[in-house]
Structure 1
């Protein structure tokens, strides 16, 4: 489609309308009020439209089900019948978060937004400010990401001159409606979500004790379905356990991942009692085990039934162990961004090392700098520079390093 064609302006209005309507639908359903769609640049054809699907009936079902992430996932599933990624554009009602930014950059899709997000948005300091990303990703972000202009001198178009919507302005009412959908949903979610979750680890019951006393209970059977090795000696990290006990689990899952996907990486979720509740390898599409294991944890909790939260800790009180730390690439941004969604905001004051990696993919100083430059939600509210830490266990590091293929 010719960008000088008046039809592009009409297409922009149409797409902004669809994204806004999807955001309003999402807010009405009780999840985050964000919506979006994917179009073919050459024809303007709408290929897919989605609302945010993180929350259902006041419960988090998938912390990664953001609009852009859903569209990227759909693109990978449908890739064989779609145009090249560079020839398609995501239109979203809100500035992409860091997780979604990583997913978009990795896919090669273009994206244009309607509204700003001063807390989580990759462009929180302005569309042309690239400092929330590592230097290695800034050029690609500048080439792929844009923001609609708003008519009436409200806001000029900003971003990539290669965008199909370069220079295009839309009715500012779309921005007003999109912002309202998101802001109003935040207020409602904060009042209603996770009311039945115990937010003090001291009040939790150890599911390992339940496994001994009531091995056929729904909670235990559900945990064992997700992790058949749960509560075994191998998947229990008691105080005084071998320093390489965790290493054995991570290496086993990384080798399994390498066999089936070619990716040597793994992660596990450990509850406050030292139980390894979940362990798994890298997702071949996302190139990391982290997002997959987060989704599975919420599925596990929901499948465990109404008594599950007596035994299964809120993610804030769990530890996530991963073989390799985040890199300065799109997958690394997906990883660090997903933690904000998984932990759901501010962590306990004394929190440190909820994500513990064994081996680094960048120097500690580079990682600290990368985390410090993230949007405020990640750098200040969640305080990822404290959350993401390398293990101090030298024996564990040596054990894992010696087993990399």
Structure 2
């Protein structure tokens, strides 16, 4: 009996060790996202003295550069638009348009694959490079950006920035960070858990006078007139991503501005598993729940049952057998890029709730006023989408 017990203990310890080792291996992998796309390298990225090295051809070509490699001299020449980069593998210097650039760590050949410093290549090609240490994730953005200066932080995901408009005049406007949603701090609707922490984090990182870069997506403004943007610190840090990575915000979609959706999903999964920030409050590290909301609509019980563009109404129905709290859920008019976010509203099993809009909109039992402005486009197709509190699309009517 003792031998069996000892054997079982050893089996358990071995299983635990193997599981821990596998988990540690996954955590040690470096993920690279370029303009929203996760890059699959033929050999995994590696870290040498704080510098990330990646397979050479992939990192050049994914950023639109054409590359030639001279095997006899181990020299690579890459061209993108007006930029020409020349580098000899193993050297600690390279040239960009004839000007010398020093490398902290040289390129090298590892197991027959040629690796080069990721940051050197990307920045030489004109991209912004960010590093999320807690999730071991690198972001590379090649999109055009404007320069701006922080004027005021409204809350965790909204800031006022000063920048020069197309006419050259300086202007100050509110910017809503795309793809992220920090807990509310508005006392009139009730402060949400971790709202103050998120706002304070943004204030600490985006202090008044801080210089930033802003990248845009498809739509420039939301229904409130705020500018929609991705904000970068001057060292390349992607601030929208930092909020999700550190658990100060949850990922949310703003169609059609979805360039970095896969990155935000990736960062949220890691933050949730690590119980960082607001995810430490849920008590459920394995689910997708958000503080104050109902778990996701995994069984498809909550759907859009009707959209009436003429009457300016959209109806959401709970086909399930349990009541659903819709706090944090969103209804989106895709064509107009207009969004309604549910507050603390419980949709009873088998019942519906209708969002009404337009000049004659009135609240009554089972009806909520979205806005007194028109939402639904009667002249062309205007798909309606319903997202749960995690930002997952759960229902759509086209």
The two structures have a TM-score, normalised by structure 2, of 0.22
Which structure's CA Rg is the greater one?
Answer: 2
The two structures have a TM-score, normalised by structure 1, of 0.22
Larger relative strand fraction: 2
Larger relative helix fraction: 1
